[in-house]
Amino acid sequence: MVNEIIRLKGLTKLYDKDTRPINNLNVSMMKGAWTSIMGPSGSGKTTLLNLIGCLDSPSEGTIHINGTEITKLNRNQLTKFRRENIGLIFQQYHLVPYLTALENVMMAQYYHSVVDESEAVDALKRVGLGHRLTHVPAHLSGGEQQRVCIARALINEPSILLADEPTGNLDQKNGDIVLNLIKELRKDGHTIILVTHNPTIGRLGDRLIKLIDGKISEDSNC
């Protein structure tokens, strides 16, 4: 398919014979689309994002991203592929506590082997944090920390953005700021996969997939 960016075929993850958090998924996602994933706790949402995000490998099946079968890559190739193609935003921000906002973003550049301070400053300005460059995470609010994560996720211009409950720890106001940023990224052509427990947020995208026990229970356009 011309505009397909992600294809999952027979995707299965099993931890032991009784735990099969992802169970034979067959899904294809279009370039530039926002897909939301919902489902009860333990239904496999994070496991699925980790598989697409090259943080984990499946037990069975294949994953194609941007035409590359990532399930064939070795560990080093997978890490390189992730840095070039995927931005990750987590519910827990995973910022380095002793580095400033600017340094946290620059560290992502460092791993991509191009360090450009003015680009990192621009990324933080884009998420409204131009006045917080030298603050360490402990001196930032939860919403600000999540925005640093978004700046960090975007610094390498990934085509795909994976967000696991990105507003889960935020109040309404900060949640709205983060969602508006994600809406803008969607407009700019990024492909977005967002996990949420909030049905209103689940309907903000183009498509909603519901998981139950690692299988798709519903797949609808919004």
Ligand X SMILES: Nc1ncnc2c1ncn2[C@@H]1O[C@H](COP(=O)(O)OP(=O)(O)OP(=O)(O)O)[C@@H](O)[C@H]1O
Contacting residues toward ligand X, per CB under 6 A: 15, 19, 21, 39, 41-47
Minimum CB distance to Mg ion, residue 58 (Å): 17
Residue whose CB is less far from ligand X, 84 or 219: 219
Q: Which does 202 bind (CB under 5 to 8 A by kind): Mg ion, ligand X, none?
A: none
Helices 172-187, 142-154: axis angle to 10 degrees equals 20
Q: Which does 87 bind (CB under 5 to 8 A by kind): ligand X, Mg ion, none?
A: none
**What are phi and psi for residue 68, nearest 5 degrees?**
-100, 130
> Rounded to an integer, what distance in angstroms lies between the CA atom of residue 195 and that of residue 50?
12
Minimum CB distance to ligand X, residue 196 (Å): 9
Q: Is 22 helix (H, G, I), strand (E, B) or coil?
A: strand
Minimum CB distance to Mg ion, residue 75 (Å): 24
Q: Which does 98 bind (CB under 5 to 8 A by kind): Mg ion, ligand X, none?
A: none
> Rounded to an integer, what distance in angstroms lies between the CA atom of residue 195 and that of residue 11?
18
> Rounded to an integer, what distance in angstroms lies between the CA atom of residue 34 and that of residue 209?
11
What single-letter DSSP state applies at residue 179? H
Q: Which does 167 bind (CB under 5 to 8 A by kind): ligand X, Mg ion, none?
A: none
Minimum CB distance to ligand X, residue 42 (Å): 4
Residue whose CB is less far from Mg ion, 140 or 182: 182
Minimum CB distance to ligand X, residue 43 (Å): 4
> Rounded to an integer, what distance in angstroms lies between the CA atom of residue 100 and that of residue 106?
10
Q: Which does 168 bind (CB under 5 to 8 A by kind): Mg ion, ligand X, none?
A: none
Residue among 211, 219, 222 at smallest CA distance from 49: 211
Residue whose CB is less far from ligand X, 47 or 104: 47
Minimum CB distance to Mg ion, residue 78 (Å): 21
**29 - beta bridge partners?**
6
Separation of first and last alpha carbons in the chain:
21
Residues 6+ away with beta carbon under 8 Å from 147: 124, 127, 128, 129, 177, 178, 181
Residue whose CB is less far from Mg ion, 39 or 87: 39
Residue whose CB is less far from ligand X, 184 or 219: 219
The two tokens of residue 210 are 């519901």
Tell me which residues touch Mg ion (CB under 5 A).
45-46
Q: Which does 44 bind (CB under 5 to 8 A by kind): ligand X, Mg ion, none?
A: ligand X
The two tokens of residue 116 are 């450009």
Residue whose CB is less far from ligand X, 86 or 155: 86
